């Protein structure tokens, strides 16, 4: 995105680490494997963190209930937001929208500023589904229950369709 040829690696203590430990977010050149930039992020809520996700607007990185948007070229923090939920370890992103599963449902956030765009409630997943949403052609394809899959509109969160319960 935006001309950067980098890969992003996050490393930190395990989940039993005390709050306040630091996570290192490292951007490496795909051409030379040299360091492009490095940033330190404070762990929150026991050190659970999500894989970094690069979008056109920002590099997204979540730790505990905090989501931070970095400039992928420089590592400068563009914005940071404390979320009302613990996001999953994997985000999906497309067209300025990042989608994450959590214990209350599916949340979509703006990749430009971290603002909440929509929430779709789910039941039957005490910790959120163990899945990654697939985003294609303005639709979010996701598990809606243990036996149903559906499609939501990427921009509004409106349910477009859902399968009959799968066997």
| Average pLDDT for runs of 10 along the chain of length 167 | 68 58 85 89 65 87 84 91 71 88 84 92 69 89 87 97 88
Long-range contacts of 18-25 (CB under 8 A, 24+ apart): 19/43, 19/44, 19/45, 19/46, 19/47, 19/64, 21/47, 23/47, 23/49, 23/63, 25/52, 25/61, 25/70, 25/75
pLDDT of residue 38: 92
Residue written as tokens 């894989």? 51
- Confirm whether pTM is higher than 0.85: no
pLDDT of residue 128: 59
Give buried/exposed letters for 126-154 (b at 16+ CB in 10 A, else e). eebbeebbebeeebbbbbbbeeeebbbeb
pLDDT of residue 155: 95
Report residue 2 CA to chain centroid gap: 19
pLDDT of residue 13: 62
């Amino acid at each position: 995105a935006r001309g950067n040829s980098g890969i992003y690696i996050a490393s930190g203590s395990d989940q039993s680490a005390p709050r306040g430990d630091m996570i290192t977010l490292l951007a490496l050149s795909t051409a030379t494997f040299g360091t492009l930039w490095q940033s330190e992020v404070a762990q929150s809520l026991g050190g659970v963190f999500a894989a970094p996700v690069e979008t056109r607007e920002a590099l997204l990185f979540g730790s505990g209930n905090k989501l931070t948007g970095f400039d992928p070229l420089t590592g400068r923090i563009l914005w940071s937001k404390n979320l009302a939920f613990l996001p999953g370890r994997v985000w999906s992103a497309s067209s300025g929208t990042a989608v994450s599963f959590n214990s209350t449902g599916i949340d979509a956030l703006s990749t430009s500023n971290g603002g909440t765009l929509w929430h779709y409630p789910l039941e039957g997943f005490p910790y959120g589904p163990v899945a990654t949403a697939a985003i294609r052609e303005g639709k979010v394809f996701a598990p809606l229950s243990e036996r149903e899959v559906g499609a939501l509109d990427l921009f509004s969160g409106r349910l477009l369709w859902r399968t009959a319960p799968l066997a």
